[in-house]
Chains A and B, each alone.
Chain A
Amino acid sequence: QVQLVQSGAEVKKPGASVKVSCKASGYTFTGYYMHWVRQAPGQGLEWMGWINPNSGGTNYAQKFQGWVTMTRDTSISTAYMELSRLRSDDTAVYYCARGVTRGYYLYWGQGTLVTVSS
């Protein structure tokens, strides 16, 4: 069965970077884009971007351009999302989600809480 397992919670200081991983199993990793979505406490879902695990190509939401980096390691079927220059309002749960051609997300990771606090 398809599973997306994310890395554990992180606590970071303002200005630092965080790298969240998402390990995929149960399907061909390079066959589906991986998207990242975040949710601040009490807020809605915010799309951050996607990575094509086959080519490494990326598409970031305009808000995150120059600030987020999505990569992948196909040898271990894992996608990564790195966010730099963290601020307190980056405190959120970060999700990876497997994308399909029609654009929906059937499979999601369990979420990774990133807390930014001095």
Chain B
Amino acid sequence: QSVLTQPPSVSGAPGQRVTISCTGSSSNIGAGYDVHWYQQLPGTAPKLLIYGNSNRPSGVPDRFSGSKSGTSASLAITGLQAEDEADYYCQSYDSSLSALFGGGTKLTVL
């Protein structure tokens, strides 16, 4: 059971907007640690999607955005495309400098 809680699955039709939540606690996200998001396609290594709560690495479309508030964070995907179908993970840290991953969310594009 992951310390960071994500919904197991979300779905949306092409063109729609979906959000994925990541809920932590005062020991991790609430303590001020940044939240990062990854996209993982089947059989591949995770790809950094959002870093530092809301920043996109070069090459990531602006359809992807992140936010953080209190002990939670969210990833939003607008203009959903078939190629967005993947697993998404949030990641943060705790006070022992241990990295934490959410349990992952499977996005299905209907």
Contacts and interface: CB of A to CB of B under 8 A. Distances in A.
A72 interface: no
Given A103-B34, A103-B36, A104-B91, A44 B102 contact: yes
Given A44-B104, A104-B51, A59 B36 contact: no
B50 to A, nearest CB: 9
A61 B47 CA distance: 22
A32 interface: no
B110 interface: no
A105 interface: yes
Given A103-B34, A104-B91, A44 B103 contact: yes
A95 interface: yes
A36 B91 CA distance: 14
Contacts, number: 59
Interface residues of B, number: 26
Nearest to A61: B98
A111 B48 CA distance: 15
Contacts of B100: 47
A111 B45 contact: yes
A59 B57 contact: no
A5 to B, nearest CB: 12
B17 to A, nearest CB: 24
B15 interface: no
A47 B34 CA distance: 16
Contacts of A102: 34, 51-52
Contacts of B89: 44-45
Contacts of B103: 44
Interface string A78-111: 0000000000000000010000001111101111
Interface of B: 2, 33-34, 36, 38, 40, 45-48, 51-52, 57, 89, 91-93, 96-104
